[in-house]
Every structure is written in C-alpha cells, then in structure tokens.
Amino acid sequence: MFRSFRVRARGFLPLASILWLCAFVGASGQAQVAQIPSGPSVRVSDNWYHLEDCTIAVGRQAPSIPLAEALRRSHRACPICEPLRHRPEWAEFVKAHGETIKAEVKAKAEAEAAEAIRKKEAEEAERVRRLAELESERKKKETAPVVRLTEQETRDIAQAALAESGGDPAQFQSRFRARIRERSPDYAGPQIVHGSPLLKIMAAGPVTKFELAVMDRLQKRLPPAGAAWSPDVSISVQPESPDAPDIKQVVVQRSDALRPTGAETTATMLGSTLAPRRLPGAPVGSKAVTAGDVTFPLSAFEPGDGVIVRVIAVQAAGPNLSRTFTLMALRLIQ
Ligand SMILES: [Zn+2]
C-alpha cells in the first residue's frame, strides 16, 4: 500500500489504482491502509484454500494461513471440499473483502510494473549519460592540441635518457620514450603505413626520427650528440627482400570536414631519397629494389576537425598501397 502511494506521487500509477487508492484517502487527506481483517485460518495448496480436513489439504500437508492472505495470493475455494458452501462465515468474509483484496493485489502489481518500467528507464538514461560522457572524453582527447617538442627539448630529453642507459640502444629507446610521454602522452615511435614480410613503409615525425638517429649512432658506436634533427615527417620505404614491390612514388593527401569529397589537397613533397638499391647483405647481382625516405611538412599531418590524411605508396606495377590516418592515428605521428 505505502509503496503504491509512493509510486503514485511520481505520477506513474495507472488510473484504476488511483481510484482504488482514493477509496482509502480519509478526511485528513492522507492515505490510510484499509483495515482488512485477517479472517479465519485456512489451509492452502494447489492455488486453492481448503477446509481443515479436506483430503487434498491433508494429503499435501498443506500449511495454514489467514483467509485474507490466501485471497491476496489469488487462491480460490477448493472445488473438492467447497469451503464456502460449508462455512457461511468464510463466504461472508469473501463477500465483504474479496473485491477490495483483488483491487489491492491488482494495484500492487501495477505499481510494481510501473516501478519496474521507471527503473528500466532510469537505467537506460544512466547508460546514455555514461556513453555521452565517454564520447565527450574521447572528443576532448582527440581535439586537445598535440604537444610538439622543439629540437632543444628533444635533445635535452635524449641526453637525460642517454645518461640513464649506459650507451645501450634498447635501454635508451625505452628511457627516451618514457620521458617524451611525460610531455606528450600519445608518443609511440614510428607508425606503420604498410607492413608485409616483403616491405615495410613507416611514418616518422621529428621526435621519432631523432630517436631512430640516436639509436643508429649508438649501434654504430658513434657519438649520439651528432644525431641530426629534421622538423619534417618522413615516409620511409624499407624493402625486406629483393622480391619486395618497387615503390616509385609516395603521395600524401589531406582532407578535412570543410572540404567536399574529392577535394583533398596534396601535400608538398620536400625531398626524396627513393632509389633502387641492393639490400644490405644481398648476394652480388641480386635485383635492386626501391628504398628510401620521402619527406613532407609536419603541418600536412596536423590533426584537426574531420581531418583525414591518406599516405599512398604508388607501385611501379600493381595497386597502390595506402593507409588512412584519422584523429587518434594522426596524433601518433610525432
Ligand atoms: Zn479442499
């Protein structure tokens, strides 16, 4: 009863229940719980209520409960022992309170159903809210400006990492990356444009190229301070086998939310060292295959509203190899 009234206050209770509740609203204006007496004790089984000595009740060892409670559980008079015929006072009780109890049960069921709907709606609203929250966090992360480290900042970080790594290239790399990430959390080194057992094409921004240059010098036992800095992005074509496909050109196309489809701009190529080379260690007379770096301005890879950057490697024969970089992927080119 109290529960029903509480639900009504939220405006969910169906009309029938409200009418029923009104029957118990006294002059004080407060809901009163109807005083339905508990009635005689009856035995219950099989959704029936029985006389004390009904053979079914005895056979089932049916428990005894008040008649009002049996009616609340929607039990009916047993058709075998016919309790209402044999006990006129039971019939009187059902006549006096049966309908009220029925209405009470119905209102309770409806209130519970309404409460279940309300709960489901609240859960759905919460789910939608959480999704929106995640989406806004993602957006915030995607649209925050990428931290671009200067040459001096990068050299200082490399020097600190070198001091911690005792000249070991792998140690240097892990220390360098950890320190860069303290400033620019998305930093992850070179990014794959194309990867197959025959050919790798990687994208590397200024910090990545510097990291690779220092490691290269460490491996060659050259002073790491001599590593060169370049402010651009290199697309590096690295064949792994003389059978690798020949790449004759690398093109970078950029589009954004403001441009219609097909209106991409093509980034200016700043330089290229692409040339046929014999792979190191390959037998004399083996086929030369195109390798080298093609450089583009970092601005061509700067993330922005709806920005899509396609890096396309054009093969001498065969379809283009390409990768499309969008928001989060573009942020990794550093
Ligand atoms: Zn019976």
Task: Report the separation in Å between the CA atom of 104 and the middle of ligand 1, taken as the mean of its atom positions.
Answer: 25
Give the per-residue pLDDT at 133: 96
DSSP assignment of 34-77 equals: ------SEEEEETTEEE-TT-HHHHHHT--EEEHHHHHHTT-EE
Task: Report the separation in Å between the CA atom of 45 and the middle of ligand 1, taken as the mean of its atom positions.
Answer: 8
- What Å distances lie between residue 281 and 198, 277, 284, CA to CA? 15, 12, 9
Give the per-residue pLDDT at 32: 41
Task: Report the separation in Å between the CA atom of 48 and the middle of ligand 1, taken as the mean of its atom positions.
Answer: 7
Task: Report the separation in Å between the CA atom of 46 and the middle of ligand 1, taken as the mean of its atom positions.
Answer: 9
- Cα-only R_g, the chain: 40
Residue 34: pLDDT band (50, 70, 90) is low
Q: Which of 7-16, 199-208, 219-228 has the lowest mean pLDDT?
A: 7-16
**Mean per-residue pLDDT for 45-70?**
97
Give the per-residue pLDDT at 176: 98
Task: Report the separation in Å between the CA atom of 61 and the middle of ligand 1, taken as the mean of its atom positions.
Answer: 12
**Mean per-residue pLDDT for 171-178?**
97
Give the per-residue pLDDT at 4: 43
Task: Report the separation in Å between the CA atom of 58 and the middle of ligand 1, taken as the mean of its atom positions.
Answer: 9
Measured between alpha carbons, how far is 109 from 118 in angstroms, rounded to an integer? 14
Tell me the per-residue pLDDT of 64-83, one tens digit each, with 9 for 90 and over: 999 999 999 999 999 999 99
β-bridge mates for residue 249, sequence order = 314
| Tokens standing for residue 71 | 């009616």
Task: Report the separation in Å between the CA atom of 107 and the middle of ligand 1, taken as the mean of its atom positions.
Answer: 29
Question: Over 80: is that where the pLDDT of 18 sits?
Answer: no
Residue ranges of alpha helices (H) inside the chain are: 2-9, 15-22, 55-60, 67-72, 83-86, 88-143, 151-165, 169-183, 206-219, 327-331
Percent of the chain with pLDDT over 90: 76
User: Are 239 and 279 a contacting pair, CB within 8 Å?
Assistant: yes
Is this structure's pTM higher than 0.85? Answer: no
Task: Report the separation in Å between the CA atom of 94 and the middle of ligand 1, taken as the mean of its atom positions.
Answer: 16
Residue with tokens 């290239």: 169
| Tokens standing for residue 39 | 């009635």
Task: Report the separation in Å between the CA atom of 86 and the middle of ligand 1, taken as the mean of its atom positions.
Answer: 11
Q: What is the largest CA-CA distance in the chain?
A: 115
Residue 9: pLDDT band (50, 70, 90) is very low
| 20-25: Cβ within 8 A, 24+ apart | 20/103, 20/104, 20/106, 20/107, 21/107
Question: Over 50: is that where the pLDDT of 13 sits?
Answer: no
Task: Report the separation in Å between the CA atom of 100 and the middle of ligand 1, taken as the mean of its atom positions.
Answer: 24
Tell me the per-residue pLDDT of 86-100, one tens digit each, with 9 for 90 and over: 999 999 999 999 999
Measured between alpha carbons, how far is 140 from 130 in angstroms, rounded to an integer? 15
Question: Over 60: is that where the pLDDT of 220 sits?
Answer: yes
Which strands, in side-by-side order, build the sheet including 41-45? Answer: 64-66, 41-45, 48-50, 76-77
List Cβ neighbours of 152 (8 Å cut-off, separation of 6 or more): none
Q: Are strands 265-266 and 233-239 parallel, antiparallel or unpaired?
A: unpaired
Task: Report the separation in Å between the CA atom of 178 and the middle of ligand 1, taken as the mean of its atom positions.
Answer: 81
Half-sphere exposure of 318 (CA within 13 A, CB side): 10
Give the per-residue pLDDT at 16: 47
Average pLDDT, the chain: 89
Question: Over 90: is that where the pLDDT of 226 sits?
Answer: yes
Tell me the per-residue pLDDT of 125-165, one tens digit each, with 9 for 90 and over: 999 999 999 999 988 888 888 999 999 999 999 999 999 99
